[in-house]
């Protein structure tokens, strides 16, 4: 591993550690997303407590946390496997943020941002998959799980050399959703648009 790659991995983690949800909620004087709703500092929870504009702001910022370091590595022609590790570092920063007591989100938006530099067609396929599954099922977490399971196949079709790093990233996202998978099986997972939520529920991005 070269010093450049190591620096990019560390930078990706630190950038990922900036909690967009918490900061935007503070700016808009909204409740701390870690303490209300699903207790998850992600776009879907911010949608519940702050509305569409706040949620879109969080979504875009979370995506950029993945896009910026991966695009930089892609531009510098870093080896695909190392590029995958950079992406994973950004997502780990979002999930376990250094600056916010290691209590972060699920990393879906950041992962999407990390995948985007590989190709806009790939990003479009991933986004459409999430939208379709979420619209049909009304479960944000289920849509995220289905999307990340299909993402490696999409990558193999478009740019096969990045299939392994994307698969590594997707495995991390699925692992982070293990509680959601259990609640989906039990039928206790809240749906998109549900107003009443159990305080221990932790879902989505």
pLDDT, averaged per 10 consecutive residues of the chain (205 residues), comes to 90 94 93 85 86 92 94 87 91 91 88 88 92 91 92 93 90 89 87 55 46
Helices then strands, counting H and E runs in the chain, come out as 10, 0
pLDDT of residue 190: 79
**Among 82, 90, 120, residue whose Cα is nearest residue 107:** 90
Let me know if 102 is exposed, middle or buried by CB neighbors in 10 A (0-12, 13-18, 19+). Answer: exposed
pLDDT of residue 194: 64
pLDDT of residue 203: 43
pLDDT of residue 193: 65
The C-alpha atoms of residue 140 and residue 104 are separated, in whole angstroms, by: 17
Note the pTM of the prediction, 2 decimals: 0.84
pLDDT of residue 20: 93
pLDDT of residue 201: 42
Two tokens at 29? Answer: 């004087």
The C-alpha atoms of residue 82 and residue 164 are separated, in whole angstroms, by: 11
pLDDT of residue 102: 87
Let me know if 120 is exposed, middle or buried by CB neighbors in 10 A (0-12, 13-18, 19+). Answer: exposed
The C-alpha atoms of residue 81 and residue 71 are separated, in whole angstroms, by: 14
Two tokens at 183? Answer: 């609640």
pLDDT of residue 44: 81
């Amino acid at each position: 591993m070269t010093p450049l790659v190591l620096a990019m991995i560390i930078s990706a983690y630190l950038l990922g550690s900036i909690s967009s949800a918490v900061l935007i909620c503070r700016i808009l004087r909204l409740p701390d997303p870690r303490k209300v709703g699903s207790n998850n500092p992600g776009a879907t929870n911010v949608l519940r407590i702050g509305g569409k504009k706040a949620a879109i702001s969080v979504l875009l910022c979370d995506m950029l946390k993945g896009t910026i370091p991966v695009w930089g590595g892609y531009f510098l022609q870093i080896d695909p496997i190392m590029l995958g590790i950079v992406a994973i570092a950004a997502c780990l920063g979002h999930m376990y943020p250094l600056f916010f007591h290691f209590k972060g989100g699920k990393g879906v938006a950041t992962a999407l941002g990390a995948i985007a530099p590989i190709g806009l067609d790939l990003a479009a396929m991933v986004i459409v998959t999430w939208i379709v599954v979420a619209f049909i099922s009304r479960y944000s977490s289920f849509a995220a799980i289905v999307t990340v399971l299909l993402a490696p196949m999409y990558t193999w079709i478009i740019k096969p050399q990045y299939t392994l790093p994307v698969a590594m990233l997707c495995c991390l996202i699925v692992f982070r959703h293990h509680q959601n998978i259990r609640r989906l099986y039990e039928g206790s997972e809240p749906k998109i648009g549900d107003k009443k939520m159990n305080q221990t529920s932790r879902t989505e991005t």
